[in-house]
Amino acid sequence: MLGTVYAILFYVATLILLIGVVRKIRIYARVPAPLKIPTTPAPKTRGGVILRVIREVVLFESLYKSNKWIWLFGWVFHMALWLVLARHLRYFTQPVWGWVEVVQPLGTYAGFAMLAGLAGLWARRILVERIRYISNPSDHLMLALLMGIGASGAMTRFVAHTDIVAVKAYMLGLMRFRVGDLPNDPTLLVHLGLVIVLMIVFPISKLLHAPGVFFSPSRNQIDNPREVRHVAPWAAKMEN
């Protein structure tokens, strides 16, 4: 019964996540950028632009220039999140990939770094007057959701040990459209429930910054307006 409810929720959430994000990415890709607006100085070659975007995504270069505290908390949270996600691949693969085995011990403790980063960001949101001013309830709830996922996940590992072998069997089953039994473990159910919520809100929330950052014209445009003529399709029609 429990397994079936969660299976339905997972399938629905996955569909919403995929369709929602793909739809948004298509909009971002299709809407033209009518003018060249890279924030300069900007790279003059495609290779340079790719490096610029990689630096933004991997190092948070602009954020580093802006504010070392936000950078520290934000960067630690995001990088730890990657490690944690990578570690979770072991529950969806059989046999487990070699590199996942390697990050496994790191990923376990990255969960704490993730929580620390989130706590730092939340503290700033509450304590710094300027950031408190710009925060909506959803901004606080998003942090609560992520911390809830992190904390409940850590609990299944360090406090109320869950039957992880059974969970893995259930997940492998879901991926082959076979619904099995899910352990009736409250911590685990909370953890999975919150993940489902996160998947559903992803395409309708500020989490769209993840795909969106790649489409930001001020970062992804090449600074060559004098050399290459850039005209949006709707603007080209004005010339006839």
Partner 1 sequence: MPDGDTQVPELAFPLDIPCLKRGAMEGTKPFVAQAEHQAKLGFPGELVPDWKEKALAKMQELAEKNRAFQVYLDICVKCGACTDKCHYFLGTGDPKNMPVARQDLLRSVYRRYFTFAGKHFPWLVGARDLTEEVLNEWYSYYHQCSECRRCSVFCPYGIDTAEITMAAREILDSVGVGQKYSNEIIGKVKDIGNNLGLNPKALRATLEDLEEDIEDDTGVSVRLPLDEKGADILLVTPSADFFAEPHIEGLIGYAKVFHEAGVSWTLSSYASEAANFGLFIGSYENMREISLRIRKAAQDLGVKRIIFGECGHAWRVAYSFLNTLAGPWDFLDQSYPVPQHILEFTWDEIQKGTLTLDPSRNDHIRLTYHDSCNVARASGMGDYPGGQFEIPRNVIRAVCNNFFDMEPDTIREATLCCGGGGGLLTDDLLDLRIKGSAPRMKALQNVTEEHGVTHMAAICAICKTQFGKVMPKYGYEMDAILSVHQLVSNAIILTGQEGEDEDEAEDA
Applying CB under 8 A, the residues found at the interface with partner 1 are: 24, 27-28, 31-37, 39-44, 48, 56, 60, 62-63, 65-67, 70, 74, 121, 124-125, 128-131, 133-139, 141, 204-206, 208-209, 212-213, 215-219, 223, 225-232, 234-235, 238
Q: How far is the CB of 19 from partner 1 (least distance, A)?
A: 13
Q: Six-digit token pair at 120?
A: 């730092």
Burial class (CB in 10 A: 0-12, 13-18, 19+), 237: exposed
What is the DSSP code (8-state) at residue 239? G
In terms of CB distance, is 68 or 157 closer to partner 1?
A: 68
Write down the least CB distance from residue 154 to partner 1, Å: 24
Least separation, in Å, of the C-beta of 32 and partner 1? 6
CB 90, min distance to partner 1, A: 29
Question: Which is nearer to partner 1, 3 or 217 (by Cβ)?
Answer: 217
Least distance (Å) between residue 135 CB and partner 1: 6
Residue pair 207/27 in contact by the 8 Å Cβ criterion = no
Q: Contact, 3 vs 179, CB < 8 A? A: yes
| Identity of the residue, 49 or 182, whose beta carbon is nearer to partner 1 in the bound complex | 49
Burial 205-235 (b: 16+ CB within 10 A, else e): bebbeebeeeebeebbbbbbeeeeeeeeeee
Q: Provide, rounded to whole angstroms, the least separation between the CB of residue 24 and partner 1.
A: 7
Give whichever of 104 and 205 is closer to partner 1, judged by the CB atom.
Answer: 205
Measured from the CB atom, is 82 or 91 closer to partner 1? 82
Which residue lies nearer to partner 1 by CB, 21 or 190? Answer: 21
The answer to whether residues 71 and 60 touch, using CB atoms and an 8 Å cutoff, is: yes
Q: Residue 122: which of 101, 145, 106 has the closest Cα?
A: 145
- Of the chain, the end-to-end C-alpha distance in Å amounts to 65
Determine contact, residues 43/51, Cβ cutoff 8 Å.
yes
